[in-house]
Chain A
């Protein structure tokens, strides 16, 4: 038919990604806000030790990004959980969409914001270095001068994996409340009761070095996103 519109799948997909990212930009402010508060309150996983003798004393403070990392993970988890909520998804039906495009674009958006969140988390380190320099005249010494790209990627992929889990749980709830609760129960059971405890999961991930970790996290995330998309493919739009 001459007068019918025909947008290709990829066109619609990238348009959706564009607008969803725009819609998302506000949430970063929340993240930044929380991270700043963390830094100011000094809850940044730092520790110190000191010692000395007659002539001199040494105080060693060490700061790490652990807390930042954890906060970012939690934030990413919650955001992707919400993204797959029933109410959010229905907004898509006022524009051109189908279920695959909707879920895939959401997955892409999650990936993008995880990446940006990683950058923010890392940037917050530099900012704290700056603050310390400005306010206390202390120079922080770091392992290396610049960032280790592997570290960045590892951080990103771990955050992504956490976000993917949130995505999956959100999708599960969307699919059916019972299923969502079932998934959570299953998760808790698996982690606490069976031999497959949290320690094992972490061991599995971190065994074998960085590269393997990256691979595991990447594949894991893709699998999870794919599963969520499949799960919601036949979903009906129900009463809002």
Chain B
């Protein structure tokens, strides 16, 4: 097990960012860390990276706790928005520094990717635009070939055009040199094809940790007459419902309707699949009625 978290809490004076998170991540898997804004994604990654200390609980990366740990630091790279480098060195020199510290550093790849992204290596990190910074940080992170690579919303600020290229770069690098990657995002649909597992967190806790296909198949949408739907489904199993004049909708667990499939279809209720992204949304939402509730 590359990463093991047991009952991790992170408390600040004003609030609790993480409330008893427990999960394990196997070596060399790409995991998508999904959650709404404020769910605790960045806090979790910062604790894994050794930037923050957990208030309580155990965090082990390859059997070692990450805070103030040189061994973990040499095998972990944390790519995020506020990643900074000494303003004295040019990007070119930053690569030289990386080469010195990371034995697996891919100099050639890094330079070629930078060229592809149209960023001059004679430039300075603090002078790059937001999108260029994100691109550079990601290239840097990939080129270090660290066994644990943490990417905190790495595509922030990047143009559409280069985004898909960068996703592909991550995939290709992963195939060439497998490593444990956690990529956090609040747009699951963008990274769906890349990840193997989903770690869905909400309000500082783990809601779900499962392979992507399992997440996708967890909930289904029933479309039809609302009364009919309610007749057949126990209301506690409904994650979301919308009653309108045209058609009622309800999101329910797939397991709760497997036996009722034929009856539902006979009553004119269609069963539609929903995307993994929507599943995550419904699993972490507060209200059953969605935004319409506010306008009631």
Contact = CB atoms under 8 A, between A and B. Distances in A.
B240 interface: no
B101 A239 contact: no
A97 interface: yes
B74 A236 contact: no
Interface stretch (A7-15, A121-129, A143-151): A7-15
Contacts, number: 80
Contacts of B73: 96-98
B144 to A, nearest CB: 9
B74 A1 contact: no
Given A3-B147, A5-B102, A95-B98, A26 B88 contact: yes
A93 to B, nearest CB: 7
Given A4-B75, A6-B74, A26-B88, 19 more contacts: A4-B62, A5-B102, A5-B104, A5-B147, A7-B101, A12-B70, A12-B101, A15-B101, A19-B97, A87-B84, A94-B140, A95-B98, A96-B73, A96-B101, A98-B50, A98-B69, A100-B68, A233-B68, A237-B46
Interface string A83-108: 00001001101111111110000000
B53 A93 contact: no
A178 to B, nearest CB: 14
A175 to B, nearest CB: 15
B70 A91 contact: no
Given A5-B75, A7-B101, A93 B70 contact: no
B262 to A, nearest CB: 52
A239 B51 CA distance: 10
Interface in B22-66: 46, 49-53, 62
Contact of B101 (A3, A87, A95, A98): A95
Interface of B: 46, 49-53, 62, 68-71, 73-75, 78, 82-86, 88-89, 97-98, 100-104, 140, 146-147
A142 interface: no
Contacts of B62: 1, 4
17 contacts: A4-B147, A5-B74, A5-B102, A6-B74, A7-B101, A15-B101, A18-B100, A23-B89, A91-B85, A91-B86, A93-B83, A96-B70, A96-B74, A233-B68, A237-B52, A239-B82, A240-B84
Which applies to chain B's interface (DSSP): helix, strand, loop or mixed?
loop
Interface of A: 1, 3-7, 9, 12, 15, 18-19, 22-23, 26, 87, 90-91, 93-101, 233-234, 236-237, 239-240
Contacts of B68: 98-100, 233-234
Nearest to A88: B86
A15 B74 CA distance: 13
A18 B96 CA distance: 12
Contacts of B140: 94
Given A3-B147, A100-B68, A90 B84 contact: yes
Nearest to A8: B70
A15 B85 contact: no
